[in-house]
Structure 1
Amino acid sequence: MKTKTLFLLGGMAALVALSAGQANAQDRSKTPKNWDYEIVDGKRVPKAKRQVNDDGSWREERRTGDCVEVKERSASGEIKITRTCDNKPD
């Protein structure tokens, strides 16, 4: 009886340790909200800047290098995506 109880307690302790390790890994991968970039695949990527209106529509702008991607959603749910790149001559 003592062996079964000891085995059960050991298994429960291992399970708790495993779940705590997963929670810590998830917390480390999140970027704080007040930062202007997020970590994706170990690299810094600028966060999209989103402006939300009272009617539910929003406009989001994301910069990647020389390119800008603008996503706009109307109050009725229509989404428009526009991509522009500035190719500078050398």
Structure 2
Amino acid sequence: MTRVVKTVLLVGAVAFAATAATAAFASTGGDGDKKTPSGFSYDIKDGKRVPKAGNRVNNADGSWREETKKGGCTEVKEMSAAGELKITRTCS
């Protein structure tokens, strides 16, 4: 074999090995959901940011109430139908 043929075969073998390794690495991803740290207010699903499912209660008139726990503290956010936001923090 000539030097050119050997070089082409070597490059082809390296490209095939790289493709196989990439496919094996990509298949270990699971369902595509990744874990985010506990301090973040969103999860990653299908590569997009999605707000974490919290205990937010929406009312028919447009008002809502949400409780968030951060360490030993609890933060309550209340939005009235008129657009007034009230934030209350209590620590124990």
TM-score (norm 1): 0.47
TM-score (norm 2): 0.47
Larger radius of gyration: 2
